[in-house]
């Protein structure tokens, strides 16, 4: 156990145990603690291999904690050491991690550069599983900049490779990525003749990913699946009526609840403002205006704490606008519309 490891004498066996815990710990608070213990002990023994890993996993911890500047600094320390050790695999892995940090900071061009650098190395050493992970990451970057065809191409490439090697974890991420492409296309082009097809394709890929993920303890990916399934069911509910609408709303709220429970159960760092906004939209669709407003107020509080991507802020502003339109307060609705315009102009 973790407590037993701390009582061990300071030796290489304890170092390897700290490494194992740091690598596989997803509890954010514990991860930071054990990554620091790994680094401190590695520095005591001047073990360059484990020092590099200590910086690597501490960088990942600060990335999870949304301290991106600290994460970048530690990542660069790790990269410097892996380059000294001439370890191609870990250089590529840290380039990938750096690209993820840059993506979180909205520096998409720089992120793409580092993803391509790591992709070249993984291709050179023949690491197929990491090739598909980088392709998925490039797909996500292209979703953020709304290059949906490029994103589709990256996820489709990854899906073809993962299908060939039967990489279940990869297949989950591939289908989830394609679902994100289609739901984002739908939300931005609702009046397109293909909009309904995109929404159904998103549901198909999410259902496929969810079925694959259920038997596997893939906590991080399951977070993403819950929020996007909630999002898709909310969009289906907006179009439906009667029993179909109620069923879609029930599914939407179920996945919001599952996401929040998963986050709390595993002490995960996650932006819950998006899920709470969707819960408010579901109550608004049901006609429960007072309940909807409570969710929107809570989402507003969470956004102030989490500082999520503009897309989530935009969804909340749109939800407020619709809420006040439903109440017949068009002056207030117009205020939120103006705030949304300012947000989009700033973007």
Interval 170-198 mean pLDDT? 94
Residue-level pLDDT at 224: 87
Cβ within 8 Å of residue 203, ≥6 positions away: 179, 232, 236
Element (DSSP H or E) covering residue 194: none
What is the rounded (10 degree) CA torsion for 113, 51, 82, 134? -40
Helix (H/G/I), strand (E/B), else coil: 286: helix
- pLDDT of residue 2 exceeding 90: no
Average pLDDT over residues 102-114: 94
Residue 345 scores a pLDDT above 90: no
Please report the pLDDT score of residue 119 as a whole number. 97
Query: What proportion of the chain, given as a percentage, has pLDDT over 90?
Result: 76
pLDDT value at residue 289: 97
Q: What is the residue-averaged pLDDT of the chain?
A: 92
Q: 144: buried, middle or exposed (CB in 10 Å: 19+, 13-18, 0-12)?
A: middle
pLDDT of residue 269: 67
Report residue 347's pLDDT band, with 50, 70 and 90 as the boundaries: low
Query: Between 77 and 343, where is the model more confident?
Result: 77
Residue 175 has pLDDT above 70, yes or no: yes
Give pLDDT tens digits for 152-161. 999 999 999 9
pLDDT at position 1 is: 54
93 class by beta-carbon count within 10 Å (0-12 exposed, 13-18 middle, 19+ buried): buried
Query: What pLDDT does residue 310 have?
Result: 81
């Amino acid at each position: 156990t973790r407590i037993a490891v701390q009582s061990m004498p300071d030796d290489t066996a304890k170092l390897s145990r700290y490494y194992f815990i740091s690598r596989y710990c997803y509890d954010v608070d514990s991860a930071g603690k054990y990554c620091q213990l790994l680094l401190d002990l590695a520095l005591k023994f001047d073990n360059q291999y484990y020092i590099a890993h200590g910086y690597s996993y501490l960088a990942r911890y600060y990335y999870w904690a949304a301290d991106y500047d600290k994460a970048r600094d530690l990542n660069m320390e790790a990269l410097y050491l892996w380059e000294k050790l001439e370890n191609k695999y870990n250089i590529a892995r840290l380039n990938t991690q750096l690209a993820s940090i840059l993506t979180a900071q909205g520096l998409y061009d720089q992120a793409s550069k580092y993803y391509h650098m790591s992709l070249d190395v993984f291709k050179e050493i023949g690491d197929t599983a990491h090739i598909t992970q980088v392709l998925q990451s490039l797909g996500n970057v292209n979703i953020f900049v709304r290059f949906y065809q490029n994103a589709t191409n990256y996820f489709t490439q990854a899906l073809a490779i993962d299908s060939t090697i039967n990489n279940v974890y990869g297949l989950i991420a591939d289908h989830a990525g394609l679902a994100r492409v289609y739901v984002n296309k739908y939300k931005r082009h609702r009046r397109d003749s293909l909009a309904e097809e995109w929404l159904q394709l998103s549901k198909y890929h999410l259902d496929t990913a969810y079925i694959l993920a259920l038997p596997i303890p893939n906590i991080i990916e399951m977070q993403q699946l819950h929020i996007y399934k909630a999002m898709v069911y909310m969009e289906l509910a907006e179009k439906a009526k009667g029993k179909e609408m109620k069923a879609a709303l029930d599914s939407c709220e179920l996945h919001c609840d599952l996401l929040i429970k998963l986050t709390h159960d595993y002490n995960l760092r996650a932006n819950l403002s998006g899920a709470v906004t969707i819960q408010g939209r579901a109550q608004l669709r049901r006609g429960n205006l007072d309940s909807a407003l409570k969710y929107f107020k809570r989402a507003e509080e969470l956004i102030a704490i989490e500082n999520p991507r503009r897309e989530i802020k935009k969804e909340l502003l749109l939800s407020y606008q619709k809420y006040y339109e439903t109440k017949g307060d068009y002056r207030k609705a117009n205020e939120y519309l103006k705030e949304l315009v300012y947000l989009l102009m700033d973007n």
